[in-house]
Chains A and B, each alone.
Chain A
Amino acid sequence: MPGTMTRNIDVERYLEHHRMMHRIRAFEEAAARANQDKLVLGAIHLSIGQEAIASGVCRNLRPTDYLLSTHRGHGHTLAKGADPTAMMSELLGREGGICQGKGGSMHIADFGVGMLGANGVVAANINIAAGAAHAIKLKGDDGVACSIFGDGAINRGPFLEGLNWAGVFKLPALFVCESNGFASTTRTDAMTSGEGAAARARSLGIPADEIDGNDIVAVDETVRAAVDAIRGGGGPRFILCSTYRLHGHTASDPAAYRRKDEVDAAWKNDPIGRCAQMLRDAGVASDDLDAQRDAAVFEMDQAYETAKAAPWPDLSLAYTDVQDIGDPRGRAF
C-alpha cells in the first residue's frame, strides 16, 4: 500500500489536512444522509475519496485568491473556508443557504473567501477562472485564480480555450484536474484520444505535473511550488491529480458499472486513511486522529440539524438579484 513509508513531514500541517479531509468527508456523508432522507432537493455529486485534492490545493491559496469549482465542489468550497451550515442549508434549499436557496449544490459559492462558484456545466469554470486571473493581472494584484475540474472536462472546448488563453496572456492561473477516472458514468479513458490532460496542457506550453492525488503530501507540495511560481510571475501551471471517485456520479447513482473488487481496492487507497497512517508513523496518537474525525462528524451533523430546522426562503427572493436594469420587480412579463 502506498503512502506507508515514514516521511519527514510537518506534523502540524498534515494534522490540519487530516482535519480538513475529515470535515469534507463528514459533510458529504451528512449530505448523503440528507439525500436518503429526501431532504436534498436536486442532484448532489459527492467527492468522497478525492478530499486530498481539495485540502491540498486550498491550503496553498489565500482567502483573497479565487477558486472556481465544479458540480462536485463541496470539498473545494469547505477547504476554501466556507461555512458548512450555510452550505448544508443551500443543499436543502432553506433560509440561510449560502446562495439564499437559489443555487443548490451545483452553484455553491462564497465570495467572502474567494470561492467564486461551483458550476453546473462541465468545464465552464475553466474560462471563468482564466478571466479572474486576467482581472488580477489587469489590476496588478499578486493573487492567483484556480480552477479545479474533473477529467471529463478535458474533452470540452474550454479546456483548450481557457488554457490557451492563460498561456497567451501569461496569467496567474492554476489549473487542477481531478482525474477520478469517470466522465459522468463513462470511463474517461474510453472517451479520450491521445495522451490525455497533462500532454494537452504541455502542448499549450503550460508546465504540467502529474501526481498521486490521494497522497496529501504530493498534492500539498506540488501545489505549493506551483502557486509560488505563479505568484512569482511565472504564468499558468497545470496539475493532473489521479484519484478515484469512491461513490457514483450522483449520490443516487449506485455505480453498478464498475466491479466490486475495483472499488474495494480503491477504498484501501483512501487519502484520509493514508494521511492518518502517515501521521501515526510520525508519532501522532490514534486517539488524536480519531478525535479529529469525531469532531468533524459532530460539526457536520450539527450543520445538517440546523439546516433541517430552517424554513423555506422568503418568496420575495424569487424576484431579487436578477438584474438592475429591467428589474423584474418592476415588470417581469
Chain B
Amino acid sequence: MAIMTYAEAGKTALAEEMRRDPLVWAVGEDLGRGGVFGQYAGLIDEFGPDRISDAPISEAAIMGASVGAAMAGTRPVVEMRFADFALCAVDELVNQAAKARYMLGGQTKVPMVIREPMGMWRSSAAQHSQSLESWYTHIPGLVVAVPSTPADNKGLLKAAIRCDDPVVYFEHKNIWGLEGEVPDGDVVLPFGKARMEREGSDITIVSWSSQLHTASRAAETLAAEGVSAEVIDLRTLWPWDRDAVFASVEKTGRLLITHESVSVGGFGAEIAASVSEHLFKALKAPVRRRAAPRIPISYAPPLEDMVRVSEAQIIETVQEMMAV
C-alpha cells in the first residue's frame, strides 16, 4: 500500500501498463509537459515522445487516428483534456470506435481508452464542467468507467488499458488531489463490480465519481441521526453492477441515486427504472434521484452551486424517504 493522489494513481497505472506492453501509448494535447492537470508528469522521461505523444488541438484527429492505430494493432490511451472537448470527436468515438467491431463482422477490435476529465472544478463554466457519462452508456460497444478513489483510478485504468473494447474513462477533475491508499503492484479491478463504500440497513444510496464522496459524507451525518444508509459506489456504468444494487435494495427497501450530471436522462433514471421493474414489491418508498437541474453550469460560484447536489440536499431527501 502507498498513499497517493487520484492523479498519481492514474499515472502509476499508465506507467505500469506501458512497461508491461510496448504497444500501449498515450496521445493528447500537452502530454509531453505532463498534461493539463499534470496527470502525465514525467512519463515522457521514461517512455519518450513517441509513446507519450503530444498532439495538435484536433480532437477528431486524436480520436480518429487512435481508432486506426487500435485497429492496426496498438493500444492507444487517448487524452481528451476535458470531457466537453471530446464532443469534437463524437463521430470518431460513437460512429467509428464503438461500431467498427460489430459493423465489420468481428474482423477487428478497437482497444482504446478515452480519458475524459469531467465535472465541476474551479469555476470553469458551461464548456469545461460537464458530466456526460450517461451519454456513452447509450452506445452499444462502449464501456464506461467513473472511478471515485485513488485505488480505483489505478485498478480501473489498468483494466481499461487491457480491455479490447473502447473504454470511455471519466476522471473527475475535482478529486485529482484526493489522497488515499493504493495497492502496490499489478492489481486490476473488474468492470461491473460495485464497491461497498458503507454498509447500512435503512436506505441504499447509489453514486459514482466525485459525487460519491458527497453521498458518503451525507451518510455519516445521517448515521448520527440514527439513519443507517448503505452507500454503493458503482465504479462503472456499463456494465453496471445490478446485482449489488438489487441486493442492497432488497435489504433496505429504499433507493436514492445521486449524481453530478443532469437528472433528466441521467444514468440514475436507468437504475431507478430497473429497480422499479424488478423490485417494486421490495420498495418501502418511491425511488428518488438527486442530480443536477437541466441548466448549463455557471461561472460565478453561487450560480455554479445551483447545479451542485449538496450533502444537505441528500440528507433532506433521505429524511423525506424515511418519513414515507
Contacts and interface: CB of A to CB of B under 8 A. Distances in A.
A72 to B, nearest CB: 17
A157 B92 CA distance: 12
Interface string A293-333: 00000000000000000000000000011111110101100
B60 to A, nearest CB: 5
A128 B62 CA distance: 10
A100 B106 contact: yes
A136 B50 CA distance: 12
B68 A161 contact: no
B107 A111 contact: yes
A111 B65 contact: no
Interface in A99-145: 99-103, 107, 109-111, 116-117, 119-121, 124, 126-139, 145
A117 B106 CA distance: 12
Contacts of B165: 323-326
B140 A322 contact: yes
A138 B101 contact: no
Contacts of A165: 55-56, 58, 61, 65
Interface residues of B, number: 49
Nearest to B25: A138
Contact of A99 (B71, B105, B242): B105
Given A161-B56, A323-B140, A131 B65 contact: yes
Contacts of A116: 68, 71-72, 108
B64 A158 contact: yes
A331 B58 contact: no
Interface string B77-121: 000000000000001100110001111111111000000000000
Contacts of B50: 137-138
A164 B56 contact: yes
A109 B104 contact: yes
Interface string B45-65: 000001100011010110111
Contacts, number: 162
B306 to A, nearest CB: 34
B98 to A, nearest CB: 8
Contacts of B221: none
Given A127-B67, A128-B65, A161-B61, A325 B239 contact: yes
Contacts of B69: 131-132, 134-135, 138
A97 interface: yes
A128 B67 contact: yes
Interface string B239-264: 10010000000000000000000000
A158 B92 CA distance: 10
A128 B71 contact: yes
A46 B43 CA distance: 49
B64 A99 contact: no
B177 interface: no
Contacts of A135: 68-70, 72-74
A41 interface: no
B10 interface: no
A63 B82 CA distance: 39
Contact of A121 (B91, B141, B239): B91
A68 interface: yes
Contact of B163 (A129, A133, A325, A330): A325
A138 B72 CA distance: 11
B142 interface: yes
Contact of B106 (A126, A129, A321): A321
B160 to A, nearest CB: 9
Interface in B226-250: 238-239, 242
A134 B65 contact: yes
Nearest to B142: A323
A101 B106 CA distance: 11
Among B25, B103, B142: residue with most chain A CB under 10 A: B103
Interface string B119-152: 0000000000000000000001111000000000
Nearest to B95: A121
Contacts of B104: 99, 102-103, 107, 109, 111, 117
B72 A321 contact: no
A123 to B, nearest CB: 9
A132 B72 contact: yes
A145 B61 contact: no
Given A107-B104, A111-B108, A128 B68 contact: yes
B58 to A, nearest CB: 4
Highest count of chain A CB atoms <10 Å: which of B55, B56, B70: B56
A97 B61 contact: no
A291 interface: no
B61 A66 contact: no
A98 interface: yes
13 contacts: A99-B103, A99-B105, A102-B102, A102-B104, A129-B68, A130-B61, A135-B73, A139-B73, A145-B72, A162-B61, A321-B105, A326-B191, A326-B239
Q: Which 9 A-B pairs have the closest CB atoms?
A: A127-B64, A131-B68, A131-B65, A99-B105, A135-B72, A321-B106, A326-B239, A161-B61, A128-B68
Given A99-B105, A111-B107, A127-B63, 7 more contacts: A107-B104, A121-B91, A132-B71, A135-B72, A158-B61, A164-B58, A324-B163
